[in-house]
Amino acid sequence: MKSPNHPPIETLSLTRVLYALSDPIRLGLVHSLATKGEQACGALNLAVAKSTASHHFRVLRESGVIQMRPEGTHFINSLRKEDLDQRFPGLLDAVLQAAKTETEIG
Amino acid sequence: MKSPNHPPIETLSLTRVLYALSDPIRLGLVHSLATKGEQACGALNLAVAKSTASHHFRVLRESGVIQMRPEGTHFINSLRKEDLDQRFPGLLDAVLQAAKTETEIG
DNA sequence: TCAATTGTTCTACAATTTACGAACAATTGA
DNA sequence: TCAATTGTTCGTAAATTGTAGAACAATTGA
């Protein structure tokens, strides 16, 4: 497994991050990574084809929201929380809190 | 001028709000409304056709980010800051702060 | 070695989004 | 009344996005 490219912190674009988080599937992935910690792609059992899942992981990775670390036959995904907090303080926490609120309300 | 519809607070969708904010033109509008206060559409002199501007205002309005109040021949736009703060605490502030940061950095 | 596992890449397609010009609607002021 | 102002709506075109299947690549374990 070849390690994919990750954009450096200073190149992260706010609109790109917001866009990455604006999809229900991707926001769900981020929420899951935030609450359960780092996980393999397969552990997040998505309701879409694996090529589609790969697409969403790519959007999240290229926007700087997550990082992917190769490990054996799969990838371990994790939030780039510290990077995001440094570049856009409070943003990730606010989004995660809002996501939590929304799932509670329905 | 007929007053346009605005979605009630409890129906605001997080992904929809994030999507509305993920466009550079719309984020610029929001930033402008946040710093300069309520303004007419024309006062925000956009670099796009007025039909395109109308589209962006509509996206912001239907996502619940802004409200539009008819006044004479034009509309006065303003952020639904209190509503957003109530539904998604800290989100708007974090986005606005991030937008400010990004314009400073470049 | 070789099959199983995991995820990417390529290709294609339907749906959505952004953009613009032209026509239209509402209001104001001369 | 009527022209000017302001913004919406409609129709359309170009670009982007989300989705999936098929083929491919890398790693592990039998």
The confidence score (pLDDT) of residue A106 equals 61
pLDDT tens track for B56-95 = 999 999 999 999 999 999 999 999 999 999 999 999 999 9
Amino acid symbol at B96: L
| CB-proximal positions of chain D, under 7 Å | 4-11, 17-23, 26-28
Looking at chain B from residue 27 to 46, which residues have their Cβ under 8 Å from any Cβ of chain A? Answer: 27
- Say whether pLDDT at B42 is over 80: yes
Query: In angstroms, rounded to a whole number, what is the distance separating the alpha carbons of residues B41 and A55?
Result: 37
Chain A residues touching B89 at Cβ < 8 A? 94, 97-98
Task: Grade residue A3 by pLDDT with cuts at 50, 70 and 90.
Answer: confident
- Average pLDDT on A74-85 reads 97
Cβ-contact A77, A70 below 8 angstroms: no
CA neighbours closer than 13 Å in the CB half-sphere of residue B38: 14
- Say whether pLDDT at A1 is over 80: no
Quote the pTM value: 0.95
- Say whether pLDDT at B5 is over 70: yes
What's the Rg (C-alpha) of chain A? 13
Chain B residues touching A22 at Cβ < 8 A? 15-16, 18-19, 22
The confidence score (pLDDT) of residue B102 equals 87
Cβ separation B19–A18 shorter than 8 A? yes
Cβ separation A27–B16 shorter than 8 A? no
The confidence score (pLDDT) of residue B106 equals 62
CATH of B9-97, one of 3.90.25.10, 3.40.50.620, 1.50.10.10, 1.10.10.10: 1.10.10.10
